[in-house]
Structures are given as structure tokens and as C-alpha cells.
Chains A and B, each alone.
Chain A
Amino acid sequence: MRNKIVYFLLVVFFVFVFTILYKGLSNPSLYKPNASLKKIPEFTAETFTKQETLNSKYIFNQNKFYLLNIWASWCVPCRDEHPLLINLGKNNKIEIIGLNYKDNFKNAEKFINDLGNPYSTILLDRDGTKAIEWGAFGIPETFLIYKNKIIKRYIGPLNSELVDEIINYIK
């Protein structure tokens, strides 16, 4: 009798394990952080052009949509998404702020001169610490912001689909 109970429990246990592992197979194992950061972080950064230090409080304070785009001249996908940003920048419902990540000033300047400047302000993140304040870990990454809250986060380069999504949001 005792044997049968043990056997039954074992069967139940293994069925449970099988189900979990089966479900586990369909979950993607690549880590996509669920935008745990809801409010935008507070930080200060130097700007590209005027070499002054701005506090984030004064950057995102207007009642419009903002896009924070983290980029660098040495990042190849950033080049690919840049034209899309230029187009988006023409939309006056949204203001694009750039965060130049671990870049050489001259190279970044050349990047902007060659490919155009969609950014109303470019902030410098020489050592990468500001990107970490945003919870980013690679580039390019883009954040859609409204009223000091992060609405959507895009990891990787933008494409036309995602840009359409953004346009939908800001209508």
C-alpha cells in the first residue's frame, strides 16, 4: 500500500515537472526586461554644442512627447535608424533628445554633420553611466516619454513599423 502511494506521488510529481518544462520551452529565453522603470530618472549631463550642464528636470518638462535616443558614431545600427529619426524629428508633436554614448567628440560631430541632426538637444554620456540611469544596456535604445513617464521602450534600432507605432502614440 505504501509503495503505491509513493508511486502515485512520484507520477504526479513528474507530470508536474513535465508540464512546467513543456511550457518553459515556448518561453523565449532571451531576456527582455519588462520596462520596470516607469518614471524617468533624474540626472545631469553636458550638452554637445554649448558645453553646459543641464539637469533632466529642465529637458523633459514641456507638455509634449519626447524621444530619448541613445546612439554613438561607432554603432552601425544607429546609422541605419538615423534617417528614420530625421523624419520623425520633423514632426512637431515630438522632440527628440539624443544621448551620445561613450563616443569620441570629433567622430560624433562628423556623424551628425554627415547624416543630419534630428535632435533638439544632444547630451553627452562619456562614460556610459547616464545610460545606466535609464536602464539601458546596449545601443541603440530609444525611450518614448510623456509627462516625465516612460511610455514605451525600444531596444535595438528603430524600423518603419516601430516609427509608425510612435506616430500613433503621439497623435
Chain B
Amino acid sequence: MLYSSIGYYSLILGLLISLPIFFFSIKNYRNQEILDYNIITFSFVQLLLVVISFLGLVFSFVHSDFSNETVFNNSHSTKPLFYKISGTWGNHEGSLLLWLVVLTLFIFLFLIWSKDLLKRYRILTVLFQQIIILGFFAFLIKSSSPFNYIFPTPQEGMGLNPILQDPALAIHPPILYLGYVGSSIIFSSVLAATTLNYISRSWAIHIKSWVLSSWIFLTLGILLGSIWAYYELGWGGFWFWDPVENVSLMPWLALTTLLHCILVLEKRDILSSWIIILSISTFTLSMCGTFLVRSGILNSVHTFANDPERGLFILTFLFILIFISLLIFFVFHKSEKNSYNSFYLLSKETAILVNNWFMMYFLSVVLIGTVYPIFLDVISSQKISVGPPFYHKLIIPFLVPFLIFMAIGPQLKWIKAELKGKLYLLVLFIISLLISFFIFKNLDANFLVNTILVGSALYLFFITIKDFFIKKFKNYSQNIAHFGFSLLILSIIFNNIFSTEVIVNLKIGETFQNNRFKIVFNDLKKIEEKNYISFKGNFSIKENNTDDQLEPELRIYNQPNIITSEADIKTTFLSDKFITINTVQNEEYFNVRYQVKPFMFWIWTSVLLISSGGLISLFKKKYEK
């Protein structure tokens, strides 16, 4: 109880601190002095209070204080400590508090890391960010307080959904939010910079670190979510084009595009309109995503508790932000008049422009696919589903030219590139196509599409490898990131084509055999754990010369009373062996699903490579300074 009270009052105090922040900021904006230290101090105090509030909630969870409504709804005394802690942000109210932590943290860090920049720019950024922070304070305190008191105190809590009790999922929200919510600082600072006409090459260099950090966290956050889906949801898939997944992908697409534009702005003073719009869009998409998954408007695998009233608040807040940002853009932005005169057809700038074009297309596909059912339902009361086939059909054909441009783009010089000596690019492309052709010649699966797609991905693959070894390189970050992307596409395609699956009903002691492998159901053990009872099956898989033991489980949790199926996965560099068991109604046998999934390791690794490209860029800057 004490922790919840501390948490609640800290939150209120944190809200009140907005007042001095506004006061000192506006005063300092108008006068001629240097940045008032009070602004930094009060920002820090606000951060501290929010963190204390957050810790108040954490301790309430750790001590299983069920007089706190949020703890009651989402925890249980038998939950392991790690999941008690991560349960703090695994629910609607707690995750909003996490939003506030990241929002206040980032503005404080921004203040202390922008000492050399224009005072008015820093103050305006603080003000814009404070508007967002206020919105979230209001939302939290009014309709989503994590500190509601229930009386009489229940003896036990409702528990956390067992599929959420997984290490990857436990750290997925904080990492994702550092990316997602971190883009708020980009939003605020871009609005500030636009108002002051401060957008320039030097500004780009400053904002690049923020864009990079946000992007790295967002990439890792999405990776963690996919890993969780693969290990925990038991179907062997890692991406379902589910609305909640799409909602994290959209800001990522905007942010990646923004990153590329900032790279251009760094070298040449153009594309500022793109940068402003993209910065606004990234954060807007984050907010939009929050709206879509918390309001109950969409039906999905992992929406939070649905509440239309909360949805209305976020919706209104979101549109106010859009309105303000568009107003600022149209009133203050002066587009460069002669900027495009120096655009030659064959140049790096063009390549990046083409990149923007494709990325915006991909973004529109995901956005339209995700929200279209809502629009159709409201306008004509028809309910349709938009699932993987839609996204695949619209994205895959465009990946081919996209990959090719990714390969060629970095080869081009800034301003103007020559065609001389570039013949090898064409030759390498033909070789890639040929290799792909030989691979697919003997496989029936979608011959033409796969050949061209893999050919393009291989092309990017080879070019990036060649660049790594042959060229004297100062651009490792881009090289590694693009290489990672080609590896990702290749791994996904090969995983798709070469995955096999066998579904069979087996009793204990029975064997299944086909011309590839032999599955033996050895036995079933019952094990009692802290908050569940597990039935662990023991299987022997014999394939070629390898012999593996796999132990999938069926878990019966106590609170909430749910049965989950836990896959056992054996990972090697080349492929994963994936097995799940399920009971069959009224029968003595079990339904056994065995899958072989090649290259899963490389799918995860390639995303890590992509983010490490960003990491290298981030630290290179710090090192150069």
C-alpha cells in the first residue's frame, strides 16, 4: 500500500512540475540570457518523480500488493520474481507509466547533450515534448491510473497470462519503447527546428544520434517480439502481419527512411521537407499504433484490455498533435528553392530519393492493410480480414527492384556518378540470377518469382561482401546493415521454401517413420512447478545420421487456469527442429507436430547485423568527436 501511495503522489507531483517547466522555459525563451539552469533542473525533477512512481508500481508488484487494482488484475503470489517485475509493464496502465519514463528521460538527456546548440531551439523542444508529456500524465491519472485502490484487499491476484511469462517478452516492451517512444524527441526537436528555421547540415549531424538510437532500439524491440512469437506461440512462425506487429513495423519503416534522409542532409543541404514530414510521421505512427491496440478497435492476438473511452482520449490527443505539427510545417517551413537543380539522374541523392519512394510504398501497404478493415466496417458494415497473402502479394514484387537499388545506390557518388567502370555491377547481377536459377531449377516452388527474388537478394549479398573486402571503406555501418538485410531476405525465402512439417497422432511408446526421419514418443513425465504442472513428453528424432532428444511440454497453469503448449526447439546453424504436442479431445493419443525450420538462426542474426550497423554508426560519431 505504501508503495502505491508513493507511486500515486509522485505521479501527481510530476504533473505539477510541468508548471515551473513551462514558466521558466517561456521566460527564458524571451530573454537574452543563456539557457536557464532551472529548466534542466526541473526536467530532472520531473524525470525523478516519474521514475519513483514507476518504482512504486514495481515494488507493489514485487510485494504482491493486491490492494492495488493493477497488481490484482495482472499478478499472482506464486509468479516467479522476474515475471512479477516484468508484469509491471505487461499491462495497460503500467506500460503507459513506462511511456512517461521514456518521455521524461529522453527530454532530460536531450537537454544535457545539446549544450552547444541554439538556446531557443532547446527550449522549444522542451516545450513540445512537455505537451506530449502532459497528455500522457492526463491520460494516466484520469483514465488509466496504475494506482487504483481496491477494498477489501483480495487474497490473491488474477495472474498474468502464462504466454507472457517469457524472458524475451519481458524485456520486449522496454526496448521497444525506447525506440517507439524515443521517436518523440525527434518529433519535438523537428517541430522546434522548423519553427526557428534551424534545419541545416549541422542540425542533421546533431539529430542523427537520436534517430540512430531510436532506430536501433526499435529494430531490436521488433526482433525480440518475433523471437517471442517463434518460441512461445508454438506455430513455428515469427511474423504474422498481425495488427500489433504491423503497428511496430510502421514507425520502423518511417524511421529507416528518415535515417537515410538525415544522411543526405548531412552531406548536402536538401530533403528538409522529407525530414520534417518523416519525423512527424514516425511519432504519429507510434501514437497511432498505441491507439489501434489499446482502444479495442482492432481484433488481434495480443491487444491490451479494450476500452473505447481510453481509445477516444488517445484518438483526440493524436489528432491534436497532428494538427499542431501540420500547422507548424505549413506556416514555418520554407522549402529550398533551388535545391533540386543539382540533382543528377545518376547520383547517390537520386538513389536515396528512390529509396524513400519504395519505403513510403511499403509503409502505405502496411498502413492500408491494417486500417482498411476498420474503414470498411464503419462505412458499409462489412467485416473482412487482411492477412499475410495481401502483404506478400503487394510487397514481394517490389522487393526485387528495391534490393537492386540497395546494391547499386552506395556505389554511386554524391552529386554525379560516372558509368565508367561500373560494368561489373551488371555482370555481378547476371551471375546472381544464374546462381539463383540453378538453385531453383530442380524445385517446383514458384520458380520464376523465387529465382528473381533470390537473384536480387544474392546480388545485394555479393555486392556488400565485395565492398567489405575490396573497397577501402569508411562506411562499415551502411555496409553491414545492407548486408544484414540481404541475409535476412535470403534466410526468410529459404526458410519458407525448405521448411517441412509432419503432423501425426501418437500414443506413448509409438513411432512414426517416413523416408526422412523417425519420431519415437518415449514417455511422458509429470513435473510440478511453482505455478504450473507440466507434462513433459520425451521424443527421439532420428534424421540421417543425427539423433536428437526433444521434450515438448503441456503446462497447466494455476492462475489463470490455462493450458499452454510449450515447444521444444533444437537450434543449429543450419536449421531448427521444432516439436509441439497437444491433447486430442476424448482420445488417449497426442497430436504431435514436428517441424524442421532451416536458417532460423540466420534470420535472427541478420536483424542483429542490421542493428549493429546502426550501432557502429552511432559510436563512430562519438569516437570522432
Contacts and interface: CB of A to CB of B under 8 A. Distances in A.
* Any A–B CB pair closer than 8 Å: yes
B297 A107 contact: no
A25 B297 contact: yes
A63 B308 CA distance: 46
B296 interface: yes
Given A23-B378, A102-B585, A103-B586, A29 B297 contact: yes
27 contacts: A6-B330, A7-B326, A14-B322, A14-B323, A18-B315, A18-B319, A20-B375, A20-B379, A22-B312, A23-B378, A24-B297, A24-B375, A25-B296, A25-B297, A25-B311, A25-B312, A25-B315, A26-B308, A27-B377, A27-B378, A29-B296, A29-B297, A29-B298, A30-B299, A74-B585, A103-B586, A107-B586
A21 B297 contact: yes
A58 interface: no
Main secondary structure of the interface of B (DSSP, over half): helix
Given A20-B375, A23-B378, A25-B295, A31 B383 contact: yes
Contacts of B299: 29-31
B586 A29 contact: no
Contact of A25 (B308, B322, B379, B383): B308
Contacts of A20: 374-375, 378-379
Given A74-B585, A102-B585, 16 more contacts: A7-B326, A7-B330, A14-B326, A18-B315, A20-B375, A20-B378, A22-B312, A24-B374, A24-B375, A25-B295, A25-B311, A25-B315, A26-B308, A27-B297, A74-B586, A103-B586
Interface residues on B, range: 20 to 34
B306 interface: yes
Contacts of B322: 14
Nearest to B385: A31
Interface in B295-336: 295-299, 306, 308, 311-312, 315, 319, 322-323, 326, 330
A13 to B, nearest CB: 11
A170 to B, nearest CB: 30
B374 A21 contact: yes
Interface string A60-78: 0000000000000010000
A129 interface: no
Contacts of B374: 20-21, 24
A26 to B, nearest CB: 6
Nearest to B296: A29
Contacts of B383: 31
Interface in A65-122: 74, 102-104, 107
A79 to B, nearest CB: 16
A59 interface: no
A10 interface: yes
